[in-house]
Amino acid sequence: KYLMKKKIRLIASDLDGCLLDGNSTLPQNFDEAFRLMRENNIIFAAASGRTVKGARKPFNSKYENEMAFITDNGARGYYRGNCFLNRSLDASEFTAVTDEIRRNGELVPVFCGESNEWIEDTKRITPEALLELKKYFSTWRQGRLEEISEGIIKLAVLYLGDIERDVYPLLKKFENERL
């Protein structure tokens, strides 16, 4: 009743740590909540740092053609399966930060392109790292940054330790209005 009285048009929720539990599972009452939103012409948007493939995964194709996705930390937007926002960068904009990551053997760079995810050196992927990667990326290709011909949406860095303490200080110098 509250939703009907208000002029709510959109409800957005972050996925990891908010809507999804630790196993990337939707709440038990999500079916009912989604039905009520649709009955009241409210668009539900899943927002995530994940790629669109990763963000769609918990919804098992059940809702994805009736909802919106804001993915890749806001660089891409989809509604009812159609992309309405795509803020990619040229691979050359990632060269300096990629060189820094390459110098550290514990870091695994994942280049999220417009169509594919790319990992340069799959030998860096330990069994533990593979489990973590599979949470966010269903597939990936092997290829160096310089060989990627599609626009890059984001660069993700896989590190199994404390990334904020150990990695962020190395990469902070590359922060700018684009990265």
The per-residue pLDDT for 63 is 85
For residue 42, CA distances in Å to 61, 67, 82 come to 19, 9, 18
The per-residue pLDDT for 104 is 87
Q: Position of tokens 């002029």?
A: 7
pTM: 0.75
Half-sphere exposure of 143 (CA within 13 A, CB side): 16
- Rounded to whole angstroms, how far apart are CA atoms 74 and 7? 24
What mean pLDDT, rounded, does the chain reach?
88
What one-character DSSP code corresponds to residue 93? G
Closest by Cα among 78, 63, 80, 85 to 19: 63
Q: Is the pLDDT of residue 1 over 60?
A: no
Cα first-last separation, the chain: 43
The per-residue pLDDT for 106 is 86
The per-residue pLDDT for 101 is 92
Per-residue pLDDT of 107-122, as tens digits, reads: 989 999 888 899 988 8
Per-residue pLDDT of 126-169, as tens digits, reads: 899 888 888 788 789 998 888 898 889 889 999 999 999 999 99
Q: Give residue 90's pLDDT band: very low, low, confident or very high (50, 70, 90).
A: confident
The per-residue pLDDT for 171 is 92
Range with lowest mean pLDDT among 64-68, 89-93, 99-103, 144-148: 89-93
The per-residue pLDDT for 6 is 65
